[in-house]
Structure 1
Amino acid sequence: MSPSSATGELPATERPYTHEMVVVHRVFRRESRFLPRLVRAVPDSETARATEVADFLREYTAGLHHHHELEDELVWPLLRARAEQDDELVGRMEEQHRRIDQSLAAVAEWTPLWEQGADAIAREELALALEEHRTALLEHLDDEEQLVLPLIAEHLTVAEWDLVGHRGMERLPKNKLMLALGAILEDATPQERAYFLGKAPLIGRLLWKAVGRRQYAASCRALRAPLDQGAGR
């Protein structure tokens, strides 16, 4: 038995590449910043545009729920079993998930009320709920990146960590794969882009180059056009 096996630690070369999570978190940081502005940029009574923004908001919410469900199912139980001295920190992560869920419940309450009539009162209530959600979200993302990712690198195997990503991809609708890849690559460095594209199968890389990039760019232009024109700032 090697010294690393005796102590329960993984060799450095066999540690999970947890920086993946930092890149994924950028998506939630970016979109949670855009969402209140997108809501406030919708003029009174423009219900068609309100529905477009509400649909995007629902996709964001579903993506964040799935992201946290994977951590609840596949990460926290392993850390509780293997990093008992950090049990309080894992408990903090679980409590932060609950607070984020509560913030999203308020968002879900106001979204259909605003979507139905696109009135000013519901618009502002929804925007405020989204800002409160973002405050809770950023606290969690900061803590997770600074305090929890090092624990994951120490206590999870590469296979256990990769399973989190595989399950996340399995839960994505097939027609959303290129949009999800675009969201990850949007703020990625060249090295990060190469890494994530390298993980995709050849057909996925070809599809991204042929149609995915344009599909994602068009989606962003359609959604963010009012912000690019200075509305809702």
Structure 2
Amino acid sequence: MSRRPAQEPAIDAEHGGEIHPAFGVAVVTRRSGGGRSLFQSDLLHTETVSLSIREAVRSRDLNHDRVHPGRRLVEIEMSLAQWGSLVSSMGLGSGVSVTIRSTERDAIVPEIPHQPRTAENLREVREVTDRMYARVKEATAALREAIHAKKGVRATKEALGALESAVAHVGSNAQFAVDSLAEAGEQVVSQARADIEAHVLEVIRLTGAGPSIEAPAINALALPGPMTSGGEATDA
């Protein structure tokens, strides 16, 4: 693997301080208010986590480096469940689904229509069951025809074998579709649980009431402080 070329920081004539193509700032905030549709999530979320990457300017003041965020390069938004998966699955799998909100090219990325993926799973289960039912019905009709038309032992055995094959495939194909639907349902439950726990913890934080149920899973995520619907961060 070849090494990247080194480049000295330059002075920003407009703001002062040093700039460099590799200088950046990552900002994580928690957003509250308004149901938002997110990629690969069946819920409308009122509690989400936003991660933005910005360019950075470094200045020197009072013997300390001060880093100031600059132009936003990209911003993504996640459900609390997606955020939990991101911080707990480092280096595992093929990544976590996120919703892109802003890029260098598109300052405002269009919203995603709310189209729950469980509906797609239900449609696929219906298609599988309809297809298997049609195959069994066709094989049954062929067997009935062979018997009533007295087509002989060979034709009857072939029709019976086709029916047995159709019935055997019903179980495995239907089970696969049902398992996929069950997995999608479990994901929705996990997303909803994370949102509910976060809402309960936020109510506890605001009211000062002691928690009646511990929720270590959400505490472990080290979620940032919530934001108002207008996008301003509040103190954690």
- TM-score, with length taken from structure 1: 0.27
Greater percentage in helix: 1
Which structure carries more relative contact order (alpha carbon 8 Å, separation 6+)? 1
Structure number with larger C-alpha Rg: 2
Greater percentage in strand: 2
